[in-house]
Structure 1
């Protein structure tokens, strides 16, 4: 095994133990969730067994974390989230959540409006909520068109045809939450009774 590979796998056992204990799960619980034996799980956690991809994939799923977090997690005690921007269709997505599945949060940066480009409406499974941080956003939903400024928010079912982009000559930035199964992001305010 190369030195680099050894480094990448070095902390896997302690991370697996920390994740399991953080969830309050026993080795028997995890064995049931992953199909691995309690003995194998114990040997992985104490570093006596070198993990394989076939073992790490069900463990990442069971713990609800990306595979990267098992093999290349930041050092223990480092509270920072290491964000990796993704560029897609001219937009920049900065993931703000690290768990796999459930509602995902992103900062989305839309480039300045290009008047020549056509507005192509899209539909897909899910539910989205977004809040405009900076700039102005042009939001097309079905046959409605809205312009939102900083501090304004919208939520919608993504099965309805939609398009979001910058409405001005400056980039627009939003905070977006997206639920692939259609989970809705609800903010609940408690109103005191008078």
Structure 2
């Protein structure tokens, strides 16, 4: 094993402990989530056990981080971020954040109006803020309807029945911040 490989693996334990503590998870809870024993998890966190791929994969999944972030793999020289778009009910969601919990950021692309647009209002726990990057949006919130264009933003409690979709012949692109437990994005002007 080269010094570089050893350095990468030596840093895994402290990162695992920091991720678990940041989530407020106990070793016992993480053991249930991953199928690894609490003893194995403790030895991994203290560095007494060198991690294997079979141990790291469920840990990366449980903590919601990519494997390369967990092991802090040395940079490859490729600065691009490789996000995997997800298609949902006709629209596309590109996650922009990789950390588990807290406010999450997404780019959402809605198809042109009339294509795969759901007419159902939805409700769920959380708080959402969105900014229209391109196109026009039809936003229904409860009994109200709004039309927003590029540069306009809205924020709302997602427990209120709502629907967002394109209002034009072109796709609508939005930057969305979503707090799963009703956490609001705190946007404040900078003070000079």
TM-score normalised by L of structure 1:
0.71
For residues 104-156 of structure 1, the C-alpha deviation after alignment (integer angstroms, 9 at most, x for no partner) is: 11000000000896621110000000000000000000000000000000000
Q: Separation in 1 of the partners of 2:71 and 2:81?
A: 10
RMSD: 3.6
Please give the secondary structure, in 1, of the residue aligned with 2:12.
Answer: helix
Query: Does structure 2 retain, via aligned residues, the 8 Å contact 1:133–1:174?
Result: yes
Is the alpha carbon distance of 1:19 and 1:65 closer, same or farther for their aligned partners in structure 2, counting shifts above 3 Å?
farther
* TM-score (norm. length: structure 2): 0.72
Alignment of 1:122-141 (within 5 A): 122-141=122-141
Q: Which residue of 2 aligns with 1:80?
A: 80
Greater Cα offset, 35-44 or 12-21: 12-21
1:92 match: 92
Partner of residue 187, structure 1: 187
Aligned to 1:50: 52
Alignment: residue pair count: 171
Which residue of 15, 19, 41 corresponds with 2:15?
19
* 3-state secondary structure, aligned to 1:19: helix
User: CA 1:101/1:60 → structure 2, altered by over 3 Å: closer, same or farther?
Assistant: same
Unaligned runs of 5+ in 1: 1-9
C-alpha contact 2:142 2:160 (8 A) present in aligned 1? yes
Structure 2: runs of 5 or more not aligned: 1-5, 31-37
Q: How does 1:141-152 map to 2 (within 5 A)?
A: 141-152=141-152
Question: Which residue in the other structure is 1:69 paired with?
Answer: 67
Map of 1:165-184 to 2, 5 A cutoff? 165-184=165-184
Which stretch of the first structure deviates more once superposed, 78-87 or 167-176? Answer: 78-87
- Contact 1:16–1:70 (CA under 8 A) maintained in structure 2: no
Alpha-carbon distance change, 143 to 40 in structure 1, aligned in 2, over 3 angstroms: closer
